[in-house]
């Protein structure tokens, strides 16, 4: 039994719960390969997707996941909700709750917003990314993708490079991979490394080369200009020279290295196009796994009985 009501961050999941989610997601993958990609598992369940920030991958994969399990998914956004008329987040959540949804998926620019609404609603809440704090479903699909390719997570050397300061993906991935026994190294310009980040379970490499050396996985992160108050590096060209992943640098990693990126990518800045499209890249497989992973979250939270109901 999966005992959690909400998925708010990776820190509140223990390794057994993470493994249960990844195992369930692996089982869901087969549904996505069928000619008719739909099972009746969550028929009659209602899922609200409330995205107050732009999204391509996360929103569409949650929506696809709901539909593949036959749940009814409904979407609202910041600009089309009554938040623009002054309604508070808690009042909005209470009004959504009054319509009896089973799960609310929230993306919000403020760290902690999903935790806040989870206290006010009976529905399960899934954090689809809150400010710079957490993006648990992304970290779970990243762990699923690595485990699928390498057969394990424990003992792997995972290098995460880029705008760590403003990245909720970095925080969730560092926490998740280190919980599952990986050795996580990070690298970024000094201005993009938050104080105390090592407490999440990583070490800071002095150079990009030191970070990549002998890595099993190299995960690149976008510079989150939308969250940076001040310019934290001189130019994109200098950033690409010092912290961009190119084929030359990738040679320092293990021969069977996996290149990952949560997307959206800025080609030519944090990652060269030929690396993003190379045989080492599993960037689009991450997106494929994102659907199965989110199906697993809905299944575990909304209490569907996949084996009894599946066609
Ligand atoms: N990885 C991710 O969160 O992408 P989107 O912003 O497109 O959802």
pLDDT at 294: 98
Taking only the tens of pLDDT, the chain with its 311 residues reads: 899 999 999 999 999 999 999 999 999 999 999 999 999 999 999 999 999 999 999 999 999 999 999 999 999 988 888 988 999 999 999 999 999 999 999 999 999 999 999 999 999 999 999 999 999 999 999 999 999 999 999 999 999 999 999 999 999 999 999 999 999 999 999 989 999 999 999 999 999 999 999 999 999 999 877 767 666 777 888 889 999 999 999 999 999 999 999 999 999 999 999 999 999 999 999 999 999 999 999 999 998 544 434 44
Q: For residue 249, how many other CB atoms are within 10 A of its CB?
A: 19
Which two three-digit tokens encode residue 155? 């003992």
pLDDT at 223: 86
Q: Which domains does the chain have, with CATH numbers?
A: 15-135+287-302 (3.40.50.1370), 136-286 (3.40.50.1370)
- Could you give the CA distance from residue 221 to residue 164 in angstroms, rounded to a whole number? 8
pLDDT at 126: 98
Taking the CA atoms of residue 125, residue 131, residue 134 and residue 139 in that order, the dihedral angle to the nearest 10 degrees is 100
Instruction: Select from 50, 138, 286 the residue to mutate for testing ligand 1; criterion: most ligand atoms less than 8 Å from CB.
Output: 138
Among the atoms of ligand 1, which is closest to the Cα of residue 60?
A: 8
pLDDT at 304: 56
Cα(311) to centroid(ligand 1), Å: 31
pLDDT at 235: 83
pLDDT at 1: 84
Instruction: Select from 53, 55, 135, 166 the residue to mutate for testing ligand 1; criterion: most ligand atoms less than 8 Å from CB.
Output: 55
DSSP 259-310: EE--S---BTTTB-HHHHTSTTB-HHHHHHHHHHHHHHHHHHHHT--HHHH-
pLDDT at 226: 72
């Amino acid at each position: 039994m999966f005992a959690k009501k909400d998925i708010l961050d990776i820190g509140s999941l223990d390794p057994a719960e993470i493994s249960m989610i990844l195992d369930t997601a692996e089982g869901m993958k087969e549904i996505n390969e069928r000619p008719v990609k739909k099972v009746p598992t969550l028929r009659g369940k209602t899922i609200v997707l409330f995205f107050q920030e732009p999204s391509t991958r996360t929103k569409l994969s949650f929506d696809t996941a709901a539909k593949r399990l036959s749940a009814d998914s409904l979407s609202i956004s910041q600009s089309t909700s009554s938040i623009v008329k002054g309604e508070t987040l808690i009042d909005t959540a209470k009004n959504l709750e009054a319509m009896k949804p089973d799960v609310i998926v929230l993306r919000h620019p403020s760290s902690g917003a999903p935790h806040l609404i989870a206290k006010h609603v009976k529905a399960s809440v899934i954090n689809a990314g809150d400010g710079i704090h957490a993006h648990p479903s992304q970290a779970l699909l990243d762990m699923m993708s690595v485990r699928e390719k390498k057969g394990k997570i424990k003992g792997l050397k995972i290098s995460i490079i880029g705008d760590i300061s403003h990245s909720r993906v970095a925080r969730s991935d560092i926490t998740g991979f280190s919980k599952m026994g990986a050795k996580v190294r990070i690298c970024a310009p000094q201005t993009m490394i938050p104080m105390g980040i090592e407490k999440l379970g990583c070490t800071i490499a002095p150079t990009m080369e030191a970070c990549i050396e002998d890595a099993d996985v190299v995960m690149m992160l976008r510079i989150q200009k939308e969250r940076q108050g001040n310019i934290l590096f001189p130019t994109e060209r200098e950033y690409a020279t010092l912290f961009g992943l190119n084929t030359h640098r990738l040679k320092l990693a293990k021969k069977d290295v996996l290149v990952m990126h949560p997307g959206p990518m800025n080609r030519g800045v944090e990652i060269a196009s030929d690396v993003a499209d190379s045989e080492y890249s599993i960037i689009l497989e991450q997106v494929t796994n994102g659907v199965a992973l989110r199906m697993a979250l809905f299944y575990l939270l909304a209490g569907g009985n996949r084996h009894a109901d599946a066609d």
